[in-house]
Amino acid sequence: MTPALQLAGCWTAMISPFSMDGSAVDLVRWQQQIEFQAKAGVRGIVPCGTTGEAPTLSFEEQRILISSAVEIARLHGLQVMGGAGSNNTHHAVQLHRMVAACGANAALHVAPYYNKPSQEGIYRHFMTIAESCDLPIVLYSIPSRCGVAILPETVERLACHPNIVAIKEATGSVESASEIQRRCDLAMLSGDDSLTIAFASVGAIGVVSVVSNVVPDRVQAMVDACLRNDFSAAREQHASLLPLAKGLLSLDVNPVAVKTAMKILGRDAGSLRLPLVEPTAPVQKQIRDLLHGQRLTMQPDSIHA
């Protein structure tokens, strides 16, 4: 039986480890990455999202990554939120049912991208998915990538469906987050590492984090402080993490910088898949300098910057 979904905490948006030529997923590295997260005490992991280069994964690769994530995570008390988003509603339903069949605790569904549907289209898209099976759904609003946001009034309508249980809010707007919290009791997770504490101040209960690929213990500690209303401690963690959060998400498009950082730290996640490519030498040096500033242990020969 799949354990009940528990959302509060840090959820790591996992990278997808590939072979060096990018042709296959590397399940040995995948297990190592999940075990690293478990030892750090995060709430759960999110395979096959934006950070996992989901648009480049085949259906079978997605199934393998999510099913193996569930198997490994359960051994370590982690929960799994499988990425299942698509701008094709029929395909999103197929992915949603696959994530459910793998035994994940929830599925993460991004707003339809490229199509730029109306709010009514967004509403019908998510309702169709929600009706397809009983797996809990976490909405994902990220207009910078999708071209459209899930507006608070649409979130309010969607929150009436029992299978729609939370939202990953990556609009960058505390006002939008506040309005959603005012309109409904849907659980909220921050979708931006730099805004985790700000969103917590208006009711968010955690974060889907990119930075926690690198320092999961520190991100979880910040969320724990927020959850116990110790915002003094949370601010200290936030100030410490902010350079890393800003750098890894601005020096290149996600997940280029975080994969590069992991390689520098001796936790190589393999290649990127086209159309993503490795960063330039100057950017690699900036990433190395950023990690040095965080006093993280680096492998001297991992990248020649």
- Catalytic residue positions, numbered: 140, 168
Q: From the CB of residue 235, how many other CB atoms can be counted at a distance below 10 Å?
A: 14
Task: Name which of 98, 68, 94, 95 is nearest 84 in CA terms.
Answer: 95
Q: CA 39, 40, 42, 48: dihedral to nearest 10 degrees?
A: -80
Please give the Cα distance from 96 to 100 (Å, whole number).
6
Please give the Cα distance from 61 to 54 (Å, whole number).
10
Element (H, E) at 65: helix 59-75
> What tokens were used for 268?
């190589």
